[in-house]
């Protein structure tokens, strides 16, 4: 193809293969992934998402999982991430975007919900949500997050 020969000799032609990209190799892409590709563990929260037994029946594999990270002092999310399929329990990482790191707080509130109708901010029957009981410190790596409430608006 037209790209042949454009890489310097010995350069591995691997997308996201840069050693500084961080995060699991499955993420692909480097810093151009909307700020998620260059996940810096110091500015990230990661762990597992599960759903409470009472609500598990409402979650379908076709549901998307929407992860929102809120500044505790503001009502708007500073970062969000969408996982295309609900395969609970499942691992997640959400990172502060690079432009928010200079003013990073020590901890953030998390809200994680399922989305059945491609409308993360509107509730549909069977959608579930969880909210962190208290702000989660940046750098947390083994958070166990449970979605335990029906999502209604």
pLDDT confidence band for 47 (50 / 70 / 90): very high
pLDDT confidence band for 39 (50 / 70 / 90): confident
Question: Residue 130: pLDDT above 50?
Answer: yes
pTM: 0.74
Phi and psi, residue 100, nearest 5°: -100, 0
Non-local (6+) Cβ contacts of 84 within 8 A are: 64
Mean pLDDT of 28-52: 71
Residue 44: helix, strand or coil by DSSP? strand
pLDDT confidence band for 24 (50 / 70 / 90): very low
CA-wise closest residue to 134 among 110, 101, 104: 110
Measured in residues, the chain has a length of 153
Non-local (6+) Cβ contacts of 141 within 8 A are: 41, 46, 47
147 vs 121 pLDDT, higher one? 147
Interval 68-100: pLDDT, tens: 999 999 888 999 999 999 999 999 999 999 999
Mean of the per-residue pLDDT values of the chain: 83
pLDDT of residue 65: 97
**Which residues partner with 79 through β-bridges?**
69
pLDDT of residue 63: 97
């Amino acid at each position: 193809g037209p790209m042949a020969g454009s890489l310097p000799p010995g350069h591995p032609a691997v997308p996201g293969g840069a050693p500084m990209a961080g995060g699991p190799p499955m993420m692909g892409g480097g810093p151009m992934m909307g700020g998620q590709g260059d996940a810096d563990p110091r500015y990230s929260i990661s762990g597992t998402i599960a759903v409470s037994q009472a609500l598990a029946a409402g979650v379908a594999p076709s549901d998307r999982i929407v992860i929102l990270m809120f500044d505790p002092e503001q009502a708007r999310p500073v970062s969000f991430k969408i996982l295309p399929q609900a395969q609970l329990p499942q691992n997640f990482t959400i990172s502060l975007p690079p432009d928010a790191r200079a003013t990073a707080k020590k901890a953030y509130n998390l809200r994680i919900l399922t989305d059945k109708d491609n409308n993360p901010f509107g509730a549909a029957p069977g959608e579930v949500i969880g909210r962190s009981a208290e702000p989660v410190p940046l750098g947390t790596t083994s958070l166990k997050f449970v979605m335990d409430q029906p999502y209604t608006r």
